[in-house]
Amino acid sequence: MEKREQLYEGKAKRVYATDDPDLVIVSYKDDATAFDGLKKGTIVGKGAINNRMTNFLMKKLEASGVPTHFVEELNDRETLVRKVSIVPLEVIIRNVSAGSFAKRFGVEEGIEFSEPTIEFSYKNDDLHDPMINDYHAVALKLATWDELDLITRYAFAVNDLLKAEMRACGVRLVDFKLEFGKTSDGKIVLADEISPDTCRFWDMETNEKLDKDRFRRDLGNVEDAYHEMMKRVMGAE
């Protein structure tokens, strides 16, 4: 597999073309941003941790029936994935109140829901990723009803598997964000990443935060938290 020109640079990853038009290479950076890019920093080792944890979880998801873009881990930071066009929706699943949910509805963080919730944000930097409902997404042709139905089912299936994985290593899965893509043959697959950048992980015993909120809220020990999560999930250093 030959790595060719850079196609795209995002906040946390770069994407490169390959000699196969249906495959691209994602390269994870240590750069961290929050609050719409207003807060910037570096989390040393984050790129490798997010790359390896994402791949570890995507393989399990694939085996449990959720199709993903994952093809092959190339090295610590780089992974070969299927080229997709990203459905411009952030799909957010919540098991416990936190973050924008707590703020928007004026409730405290840490309230356990009896059932998980789903919501969508329209991925649009100029508009600051506003919350959007399914009718609006269809009206704007961001996805079809069938695609939204599939995305919703996959997202809850991801929650089931992820919740069980996390419970097994003493972690409470509070909420997370997924992105889906469409392959050249029109198939919807899970894309992007599943990592402490995109999930809220709380220690089951102490409720200590083991995710990007440590960076967002200047709680310190950011690198330690990412490392701790990788160790717990993958049993690896």
Contact residues toward ligand UDP (CB under 6 A) are 90, 92, 98-101, 129, 175-177, 198-200, 212
Place of tokens 């995710």: 211
- Specify the residue, 117 or 184, whose C-beta has the smaller distance to ligand UDP: 117
Q: How far is the CB of 32 from ligand UDP (least distance, A)?
A: 11
Q: How far is the CB of 198 from ligand UDP (least distance, A)?
A: 4
8 Å CB contact between 172 and 96: yes
| Main-chain phi, psi angles of 171, to 5 degrees | -120, 135
- Specify the residue, 22 or 110, whose C-beta has the smaller distance to ligand UDP: 110
Structure tokens at 206: 């102490």
8 Å CB contact between 146 and 157: no
Distances 18 to 58, 79, 104, 235 between C-alpha atoms, Å: 21, 12, 43, 32
- Specify the residue, 3 or 29, whose C-beta has the smaller distance to ligand UDP: 29
Q: How far is the CB of 80 from ligand UDP (least distance, A)?
A: 23
Q: How far is the CB of 17 from ligand UDP (least distance, A)?
A: 25
Distance CA 21, CA 82 (A): 9
- Specify the residue, 144 or 207, whose C-beta has the smaller distance to ligand UDP: 207
Distances 14 to 6, 11, 59 between C-alpha atoms, Å: 7, 8, 21
- Nearest residue to ligand UDP on Cβ basis: 99
- Distance from the Cα of residue 49 to its chain's centroid: 13
- Specify the residue, 70 or 202, whose C-beta has the smaller distance to ligand UDP: 202
- Specify the residue, 66 or 199, whose C-beta has the smaller distance to ligand UDP: 199
Distance CA 75, CA 52 (A): 9
Q: How far is the CB of 44 from ligand UDP (least distance, A)?
A: 20
Q: How far is the CB of 129 from ligand UDP (least distance, A)?
A: 6
